[in-house]
Each structure stands twice: as structure tokens, then as C-alpha cells.
Amino acid sequence: MAFALGRSSSTAILASRSLSSPSPTHFVPLLSLTPAHGNGKKSFGSIRIQGKKERPLVQCNVAAEINTVEQAANLSKESQRPVYPFAAIVGQDEMKLCLLLNVIDPKIGGVMIMGDRGTGKSTTVRSMVDLLPEIRVVFGDPYNSDPEDPESMGIEVRESLGKGEELSVVMTKINMVDLPLGATEDRVCGTIDIEKALTEGVKAFEPGLLAKANRGILYVDEVNLLDDHLVDVLLDSAASGWNTVEREGISISHPARFILIGSGNPEEGELRPQLLDRFGMHAQVGTVRDAELRVKIVEERARFDQNPKEFRESYNAEQEKLQQQISSARTSLSSVQIDHDLKVKISKVCAELNVDGLRGDIVTNRAAKALAALKGRDKVGAEDIATVIPNCLRHRLRKDPLESIDSGLLVIEKFYEVFS
């Protein structure tokens, strides 16, 4: 990493002080503490910044953000907004299963959740935060680079590795990044770091939300209302796994491999088919009709609103059990096998349903393996495929305006026809 730390002893002192600050993220500028009057130096209080008149504007690498382990530890749960426990969510098994499978195997490609308003879509997605496992990342890297996978490394980490430098590695939880509907393209993709340009006279890249979401989860609530220019950005990154920024004299690419999760209400607008195809799975959520279940949901929500801490503690055992299941499934996923004849039948279902492309075949195979791993088995069965294939294919079928039957039922019918 290209950390410009310590041009002098005073710089080193300043850098160490900034690292011990309780704020979550710091940029470490090249500052020096000098007397009140110096040659060609401008004064801002007691801190002097080298004058820029003699020095031309040069381009440097990424403005690195330094996140210390202590800072992460100091983010106490009391200071954060309490999250509803995943284990406490009543019903909506299809949506919960799709989310769990994507955490077990991120290469499934995310999940699109469509359903009525007020059915707990956003609550369920955000409750996944407590269940996300830890991953190995390069310390201080704004892209959460994987120290063992060159495809998930930022340019600076890759250069350091090429020079034979030893990388500092830490364990951190998978990120979940919210993409608000009103976000600007600069905030999503990244832009020039104005602070660094003004204080140091250098062009530096300030990473955006796509950099933060690398190797994590990018969640878009009401994704069908997202502006077209942001949809184009997501399509480009989801297709290549990289985000390329060309602006203000900066040309930079960085890894942007994330699990894309979206939710929305179909009554508020359709999703562009190009973006819909990028979601690995599609879950449909309906309003609970059973009166007893509705009462239970209302009572549980009232308990949570009254005392969130006590409510979360009552589900600690179930949450820990889920975490262990996910961790075990991620570990055993590579050893799960699927027979060749089952693969042929999956592809036959896709072909007879006229599914465009091969994403449906790939995602169904991956999701079936992830489900088998979640159940603690090392071999995929027909029942695993039957469970996941509607979610993997229903959004890939061509729309027929005269067709009244649900696309998920069409997939199930074709599955039993082929597998029988």
C-alpha cells in the first residue's frame, strides 16, 4: 500500500496521533509542524502546509483510508441502530433461504426480492448483518483486497505483492453497503479527492460505495425506482467485477465484486430486464394471511420496539446456531458434488423453458450445492434442485402478457416433467 507516512519526525508524530483518534476513518496527509513564519509556506493555525506554487500538479495513487482493528472494535453495538434478529423473522422462508444461500456461495450472484409493501423485505435483508462471516482482508486497503486472490486485489496491493513486500492481514466481517436511491454517480463510483488536492496538490482517487462493497453485499431498496444512470453503473460492475473511473484526469480501475441484493414492490414499476438478469435468484414475498401468524408478528415487533437489547438477547442462541451452520456450509461447499445426470436434467429444464443464455444453468447448479452444504450433505439430491430451481429461473422466462399462471409454477411443472 502506498501510505505516505513519515517524511520527518514531526510527520510521524502527527500520523500516530491521527491513528489513535476515535473517528472511524482518516486520511493521512503530508503535513509538517513548522514555526509561524517560513519561506513559501502557508499557515492554517499551528499547522503549516507546504506551498504549492513551485510544485506542479502530479498524479498519485489512491488516497488510502486507514481502518484500525481498534476502531472497528470501538464501534460498540450500543452506538449502532439496533437490528432485528434474523432468527426472529416469522415466515418468508423462500426469501430467507435465498439470502442464506448467497452468503454461503457469493458466486450465485445475489437475490432480487419482490413483494407487497410492509412484508419485511428490508428488515430481513438488514438483519443478515449479524450472520455475516469474517473474511481475510489486507489491512488499511479501501477495497477489502483478498491477500490470496489477485482478482480481488486493488492495484496498490498487487504492486506491493509484486515487490515481495509482506502484507498485513486482518479478519473483518463482510460489509453490507446500502445504496440509497438519491446517491450521486460520484459517490457510487468514486471521484477525485478534493481534500487531498487542496492540501497536497496531488490528484488522488477517493473510493466510492462500489469499492466499499467489494467482497461484500450491496443492497438497493426499491431497486425498481433506481435512476437509469446508476443502473448502468451497476450493470457494468456486475458484469465485469471491476469498476473503471475516467474523470478529472484520473483513470483508475478497482475490483468491485459484490453480492447484489435488491428489493421492491412490483406495483411501483418494473425492473429493467438487463438488471433483472444480473440477479442470481428471485424471491417472491406475499402478505401473511394466517391470523395467528399475523398476531405473532405484531407481538414480536412490539417486544422489539419496547426493548431492542433484551429482545435481541433472547434470540442469541438461535443466531449463533445459524452462524455456525453458515460457517460450516462455507467450509464444506467445495466438497459438495452433483451427479452428471442431474446437471443434464437441469440444463434440459432450462432449454425446454427457452431460458436465454446459460446463467440459469450455472446459478441452479451453484444454489443446489449451497443448499446441500447448508443441510450438511456432500451430495446434491433432486429435492435440493426442486427447492431452488424456481428462484433461479422464474425471472429469466420470457414474459407472455396473456399468461395468467405464475412463472414459478411453470418452472415447477417443467421440473417434475423432466425429473420424473
Q: Distance between CA 324 and CA 119 in Å, rounded? A: 27
In the residue annotation, 359 being an active-site residue is answered as yes
Flag residues of the chain having pLDDT under 70.
1-80, 400-406
Per-residue pLDDT, 288: 85
Q: Are 160 and 143 in contact (CB under 8 A)?
A: no
Per-residue pLDDT, 405: 60
DSSP code of residue 285? E
Q: Are 255 and 151 in contact (CB under 8 A)?
A: yes
CATH of the domain spanning 82-134+173-296? 3.40.50.300
Per-residue pLDDT, 79: 45
Q: Which of 215, 359, 366, 396 is catalytic?
A: 359
Each residue of 316-327: pLDDT tens digit?
999 999 999 999
Cell of 91: 415466515
Per-residue pLDDT, 80: 64
The angle at the Cα of 344, spanning 339 to 348, to the nearest 5 degrees, equals 150
Per-residue pLDDT, 153: 82
The residue ranges of every structural domain in the chain are 82-134+173-296, 334-419
Per-residue pLDDT, 380: 94
Instruction: Give Cα separations from 237 to 121, 188, 211, 216 (angstroms).
Output: 24, 11, 11, 14
Each residue of 35-69: pLDDT tens digit?
444 444 333 333 333 444 443 433 334 444 434 44
Q: Are 263 and 121 in contact (CB under 8 A)?
A: yes
The angle at the Cα of 374, spanning 72 to 98, to the nearest 5 degrees, equals 75
Q: Distance between CA 54 and CA 40 in Å, rounded? A: 9
Q: Distance between CA 178 and CA 319 in Å, rounded? A: 22
Q: Are 237 and 256 in contact (CB under 8 A)?
A: yes
Per-residue pLDDT, 281: 92
> Comparing C-alpha atoms, which of 355, 364, 350 is closest to residue 397?
355
3-state secondary structure of 45: coil
> Does the CA dihedral 342-395-241-171 come out positive or negative?
negative
Q: Distance between CA 3 and CA 66 in Å, rounded? A: 9
Instruction: Give Cα separations from 5 to 21, 30, 252, 365, 392 (angstroms).
Output: 16, 7, 23, 48, 49
Per-residue pLDDT, 403: 58
Per-residue pLDDT, 133: 85
Q: Are 169 and 137 in contact (CB under 8 A)?
A: yes
Cell of 166: 509482506
Neighbours of 334 (CB within 10 A): 9
Please name the fold of domain 334-419: Helicase, Ruva Protein; domain 3 (1.10.8)
Cell of 334: 467445495
Instruction: Give Cα separations from 292 to 90, 168, 382 (angstroms).
Output: 11, 53, 33
> Comparing C-alpha atoms, which of 28, 52, 59, 63 is closest to residue 248?
59
